[in-house]
Structure 1
Amino acid sequence: MAPFKKENPLHSVIAGSTAGAIEAFVTYPTEFVKTRSQFSGKRESPIAIIRETLRTKGITGLYSGCTALVVGNSVKAGVRFVTYDHFKNMLADSEGKVSAPRSLLAGLGAGMMEAIFAVTPSETIKTKLIDDAKRPNPQYRGLVHGSISIVRAEGIFGIYRGLFPVMMRQGANSAVRFTTYSTIKQFVQGQARPGQTLPATITFGIGAIAGLVTVYTTMPLDVIKTRMQTLEARSQYRNSFHCAYRIFTEEGILRFWTGTTPRLARLVMAGGIVFTVYENVISLLNPRQQE
């Protein structure tokens, strides 16, 4: 791989957080549908979930738990990009080059860090809020009330349920996404004139492809993560392995790819949005480096 430019950590945090917040808000309805479809019980198609939600809750129903994901996604993306740049710098050779396997390792490390510091708490709260919202009489009145209620009822570990599958999913997500993105981007740049900046449409397309590859390789971990974070998880599953075993034996192997369509829609858009916004914010913060 070609040499990479070391980013200012503060710039990486600002650009990553901005990209994460915008991506989460724009794509949230697909995340809502994906999460609902992964709950245990009757199987519902994405269209059926959207129709039922609009009928009973209105358009705002599709944004149940949105604030938790926007805040969490902003922090997650900031952590992801700054730690990825840090690990990539550590793993670069004497010429500043990072091979595909080392890029994969850097992405894995970044995913683990974001899972611990941002993703697990925000997604646990988001999942519980979505699960609660489908009840006739929801008990949570929003992000703050829901978070306080969960911690009071289950302790701080209540918002860290599913940490193991989240770490596995985020590690795999970042490893696959960053490696795919970096590999394709450097290939495309190799075909362009030296010093030429890639158009936003090309960056979006490369990010979308990275999102597509990520979905199919990490979907089972996402399903296990969702089940471990539902309101009934403590009474149904002893741990992540027990959860996976029950899904496999009681519902079949294909159940691990439930929610693929809405997650695919989200991550393809997310990959394009995140990398495009990130690259443009970095350009604004540090224009000389882009010359």
Structure 2
Amino acid sequence: MSHDSQQNTPWIVSLAAGGFAGAYPFEFAKTRVQLREQKGIPTPRNPFRVVAGVYSTEGLSALYKGCSALVVGSVAKDGIRFLSFDTIKETFKDPETGTLTPGRNLGAGMCSGVVASLFAVTPTERIKTALIDDARTEKRFHSTPHAIRTILATDGFLGLYRGLAGTTLKQAGATAFRMGTYNILKDYERTRQIPQTTLTNFANGSVAGIVTTLATQPFDTIKTRCQSARGASTVEACRSVVADYGVRGFWKGTTMRLGRTVFSGGILFTTYEWAAAILNPLVRKTGVVKESV
């Protein structure tokens, strides 16, 4: 996050605040839309129709397939993302001015996105997507633990990293655009002496969510195709999207994802600022950890 150069955020605050802010609802309908359609069963574009159709034919429990994996992944992802960004941005600061230019902001965000993809996002997204896909087709997986065991038995440890390229590109781009846009807006407001209130934090986070979604949606679609129940290579995923819908197919699920990222982006950064404001004084007062240098 963007703070005054004289006031760095301790790593423990970044981890706790980011993790607390990160647990938001899953994107079941978006994932269903991005997966390959079953023969003779086209997927509706309206997310409410997707949810209603699954509920009527498969029951309430089907709507929560992969939910636990996503919750764990979301908390871990945002905890790691905020932690790594607050750490990495220190090395990206201009050595003379101690500030972050827009380009350095994006670079720091991109690096933290790669870290999050490797340590949290790819395996949890793979499990979530495989569970959602399997529930509508073969129904091999009985639970999240069973899905993990089956994937490991079938494809080995690397099976959990299907879609690594697409996920990493998405996370690097998403974190760069999200964190970069948010910090650019905050820096602009600071120079114009605009008060940092809950409303401005929410608005900045929402704008960052819009920019992030539009810029990274193709990577998200490729990732979903790669992480289906049987899996696919990045090349196969790209070919299948073009074969099914043409180039515009790479933006499948944009509206559904926007509905989530606009609000989650606002809530994410508002909650982070709120949690950091509470935790920073407590951490420094108790001396749990020294400030970052």
Which residue is equivalent to 1:117?
A: 119
Q: Could you tell me which residue of structure 2 aligns to residue 20 of structure 1?
A: 22
Separation of aligned partners in 2, 1:114 and 1:266: 20
Q: 1:181-206: per-residue Cα shift (whole Å, max 9, x none)? A: 0111222233336xx5x222221111
Alignment partners' CA distance in 2, 1:246 and 1:6: 46
* Counterparts of 1:3 and 1:77, CA distance in 2: 22
Pair 1:149 & 2:150 matched: yes
C-alpha distance in structure 1 between counterparts of 2:124 and 2:31, whole Å: 14
Query: 1:36-65 CA deviation, whole Å, 9 max, x = no partner?
Result: 000112342223211111213444433221
Rounded Cα–Cα distance in structure 2 between residues aligned with 1:189 and 1:127: 41
Gaps of 5+ in 2: 285-293
1:274 aligns with 2:268: yes
The aligned counterpart of 2:202 is 204
Aligned equivalent of 2:253, options 254, 259, 264: 259
**Aligned equivalents of 2:146 and 2:3: distance in 1?**
49
**Hey, what's the Cα distance between the residues in 2 that align with 1:33 and 1:280?**
30
- For residues 1-291 of structure 1, the aligned pairs below 5 Å read 3-4=4-5, 5-21=7-23, 23=24, 27-28=25-26, 31-41=27-37, 42-45=42-45, 46-93=47-94, 94-135=96-137, 138-192=139-193, 198-234=196-232, 239-287=233-281
Deviations 1:210-249 (A, max 9, x none): 0001111111111100000002334xxxx31342134224
- Give SS of 1:286's match: helix
Please tell me whether the aligned partners of residues 130 and 230 of structure 2 are also in contact (alpha carbons under 8 angstroms). no
Paired residue type of 2:174 = N
- 1:138 partner SS: coil
**Pairwise CA RMSD of aligned residues?**
2.1
Give the helix-richer structure, 1 or 2. Answer: 1
Cα contact 1:3–1:96 (8 A) shared by 2: no
Q: Distance in 1 between matches of 2:59 and 2:201?
A: 35
Deviation at 1:79, TM superposition (A): 1.0
Q: For the Cα contact (< 8 Å) 1:110–1:171, is it kept in 2?
A: yes
TM-score between both structures, scaled by the size of structure 1: 0.88
Contact 2:9-2:280 at 8 Å conserved across structures: no
The 8 Å contact of residues 67 and 128 in structure 2, kept in 1 or not, is answered as yes
Counterpart Cα distance in 1 of 2:225 and 2:246:
15
CA distance in 1, matches of 2:230, 2:162: 12
User: Normalising by structure 2, what TM-score?
Assistant: 0.88
Matched residues in 2 for 1:289 and 1:204: separation? 25
Moved over 4 A (4+): none
CA distance in 1, matches of 2:222, 2:144: 23
Amino acid at match of 1:150: I
CA shift at 1:176, angstroms?
0.7
- The residue identity in structure 2 corresponding to 1:36 is R
Q: Report the Cα offset of residue 95 of structure 1.
A: 2.9
